[in-house]
Structure 1
Amino acid sequence: MKKKRIGVIFGGQSGEHEVSLMSSTSIIKVIDREKYDVVMIGITKNGEWLLYNGDVDKIKSGEWEKEGIRAFFPPNANYKGLITFSNGKEEFHPLDIVFPVLHGPRGEDGTIQGLFEISQIPYVSSGVMSSALGMDKFFSKKLFDHAGLPIVKYKVFHKKEILLDIETIIQIVERDLGYPCFVKPCNLGSSVGVSKAHNRPELIDALQIASKYDRRVLVEEFVKAREIELSVFGNNEPKVSIPGEIIPSNEFYDYVAKYFDGGKTKLIIPAPLSESVIKRFQELALKAYRALDCSIYARVDFFYNEEQDKIYINELNTIPGFTHASMYPKLWEATGISYPQLINKLIDLAFERYEEIKQ
């Protein structure tokens, strides 16, 4: 059987650029070389596309950029692949499928998925709408609420409001949500730009930090809760993993705790929960996945107030972190699917979805 060419796309222009480099390095190393020829495609923080043919380990360090060849991904169904420009020569590199390992805006938010739709090429990700909704914490919460999923109380403010009338915003937050509260950019992941505010000065700082990353800022009430995550994959008949629990090294599961705390954050798999509570989490995870019409894969994050036996959905990530230490693959590993098997499964699901929707 002729091998297919898979383009793994990493980097990107979001605040999660470095996370993408770590995730993609892990994925590239385990893709089945008997089935696929891997084409490594990087996007710099400036938005330049580069074809990379060097050592995989140089991706994580950022050294790949020095060796990349200038490239272009045409939005043209007659050119499914990459065009490179080097030494005055133009060369076409055909692709059968793409695997975007891009976290955050311009990668996980439906934008690059739209490019793949125009190019009519299979891709390992949810579609345009689902990706956009999963990335936008405000609109995903509205849909979760509409679907009957439990959510915490929240408010959304525009960057302009924060700049012009922060005093009014503070009064609204103190009246309706209280302290402590969480402040987040509406469109970002990996806890980039997220702060926990315990008082008015910290709230002012948190609003200003979050508004640097997005034009809208989400403020959520604090609930005393355990952090529970589940992995989902599938198209029409999605499957859900066992739940895992996060015990962060910092006060909450922030960017440093997720990726740079030297292993101090604990991932407990499976989460110590009763069978009945596990079943509730799994049902809610599948409900959330379907509420956003997701496909291929996603990770669903929850809060669990054990004293009141209340579950709240936090968010859904359509391209979650994918290093060997990340919760998404580790949950499937504990459920009985190894990291390499999982990658193969996701690629198969992308081809399956493409066949279903192509015209």
Structure 2
Amino acid sequence: MILIVLYGGKSVEHDISLKTAFTVLQSLHFDQHEVYPVYITREGYWCLGGRLEQPATSMEQLLSSRPRTEDAAGSLGSVLLQLSELPGPKVALPLLHGSCGEDGTVQGLLELIDVAYVGNGVLGSAAALDKSIAKALFAQAGIPQARHLAYRRADWAASSEDIVQQIEHELGYPCYVKPASLGSSIGISRCLDREQVLRGIHHAFKYDRKIVVEEEIAGREIQVAVLGNEQPAVSVPGEFIQDQTFFDYDAKYFRGELTMSIPADISAETAQQIERYAVLAYKAMDGAGLARVDFFVEPTGQLYLNEINTLPGFTNCSMYPVMWERTDGTSYAELIDKLIDYAVNRHADKQSIRYER
């Protein structure tokens, strides 16, 4: 099996993608796969090096290839041509976080060239990354959520004072301001008053043309990992033990301030309810392959779905692979192999679809 590993990308989450790719490329079963890393630069250039026959030894090794052309579209065409000439079945492993990768764009490309790929499809990827769209789907599925509002940049330019008043009236403080289509806590602000909301909105609009504002839920943050296609399985719940209200990008990925508690110390009843809502959310998004689903749990036991992440981190400080190891003993490499199998099976199933009458 030829395994095409995509990482980097034209995204503010570029560095997280590199960390994920480095961990994956240290852990694969290289005796079972012909591994071809494809690095996508911050500018959108596609770079294909040679076959990787053993685990990656340094981050620099992932960045060693260069595009063959000075045109982003040309580099994409060149890489696709080279990959198409490789004999044998192929499956892509997108490790692209955020825009231009986790949002359905790369998934659409892989659909067009008829290559199997790990993870969620075009619809699920695009809908899940846009928090306002995802929340609308969750509401339709009857899943409880925090109160929230969504605004576009044009809305803000036209009526900023009305928007601030609506936030104060309907949500109150504290509240969170977030770019609609980003992860890794980038661009998010916890706001305690009007001045902070104004700064938070200005900051969030740097990263997206649409933002989401949410009320704060005073409770614990519990996560579960979902794995599978039509009949998804759910891991034991996990929790990051934290001593501050909000962890930003640096705290999550670079300062090592998060400690995992897996399984999370919650009641069996709460765990069962989380599992049920996680499957509902996964199916509402037309999930495939994998996702991490995050919840808030109030002291009363009331649950609120926070978000679903269709490409959870696979770094050495990421919850998703550890939750599966604690659930059924699945190792990191075995988890990747399962995801590849789900991708191949889903692709084969789609081949039964007719495109003519």
TM-score using structure 2 length: 0.91
1:177 CA displacement: 0.4
**1:237 and 2:235 are equivalent in the alignment:** no
Amino acid at match of 2:205: S
- Alpha carbons 1:99, 1:124 under 8 Å: kept: yes
Which residue among 303, 311, 320 is the counterpart of 1:311?
Answer: 303
Task: Write the mapping of 1:233-312 to structure 2, written as runs, cut at 5 A.
Answer: 233-248=227-242, 250-261=244-255, 263-306=256-299, 308-312=300-304
1:141 CA displacement: 0.4
Task: Write the mapping of 1:217-236 to structure 2, written as runs, cut at 5 A.
Answer: 217-236=211-230
Question: Identity percentage over the alignment?
Answer: 39
Task: Write the mapping of 1:186-197 to structure 2, written as runs, cut at 5 A.
Answer: 186-197=180-191
**1:211 and 2:205 are equivalent in the alignment:** yes
**2:28 counterpart residue number:** 31
**1:119 counterpart residue number:** 113
Amino acid at match of 2:225: S
1:162 CA displacement: 2.4
- How many angstroms apart in 2 are the aligned matches of 1:249 and 1:99? 35
1:29 CA displacement: 1.5
**Is the partner of 1:120 in helix, strand or coil?**
coil
- How many angstroms apart in 1 are the aligned matches of 2:84 and 2:146? 52
Amino acid at match of 1:99: L
**1:44 counterpart residue number:** 41
- How many angstroms apart in 1 are the aligned matches of 2:231 and 2:75? 35
Stretches of structure 2 that go unaligned for 5 or more consecutive residues are 69-73
Give the aligned length: 342
Which residue among 145, 155, 164 is the counterpart of 2:149?
Answer: 155
1:248 CA displacement: 3.5
Backbone CA RMSD of aligned residues: 2.0
Stretches of structure 1 that go unaligned for 5 or more consecutive residues are 85-89
**1:87 counterpart residue number:** none
**1:105 counterpart residue number:** 99
**1:340 and 2:337 are equivalent in the alignment:** no
1:66 CA displacement: 4.8
CA change 1:91–1:272 in 2 (3 A) is closer
1:93 CA displacement: 4.4
- How many angstroms apart in 2 are the aligned matches of 1:295 and 1:40? 23
Task: Write the mapping of 1:68-83 to structure 2, written as runs, cut at 5 A.
Answer: 68-70=66-68, 72-74=75-77, 82-83=80-81
- How many angstroms apart in 2 are the aligned matches of 1:341 and 1:320? 17
**Is the partner of 1:218 in helix, strand or coil?**
strand
- How many angstroms apart in 2 are the aligned matches of 1:184 and 1:248? 21
- How many angstroms apart in 1 are the aligned matches of 2:90 and 2:264? 38
1:65 CA displacement: 3.6
Amino acid at match of 1:202: Q
- Alpha carbons 1:227, 1:247 under 8 Å: kept: no
1:64 CA displacement: 4.2
- Alpha carbons 2:45, 2:67 under 8 Å: kept: no
- How many angstroms apart in 1 are the aligned matches of 2:75 and 2:257? 41
- Alpha carbons 1:12, 1:43 under 8 Å: kept: yes
**1:324 and 2:316 are equivalent in the alignment:** yes
1:82 CA displacement: 2.8
- How many angstroms apart in 1 are the aligned matches of 2:219 and 2:245? 12
- How many angstroms apart in 1 are the aligned matches of 2:104 and 2:261? 31
TM-score using structure 1 length: 0.90
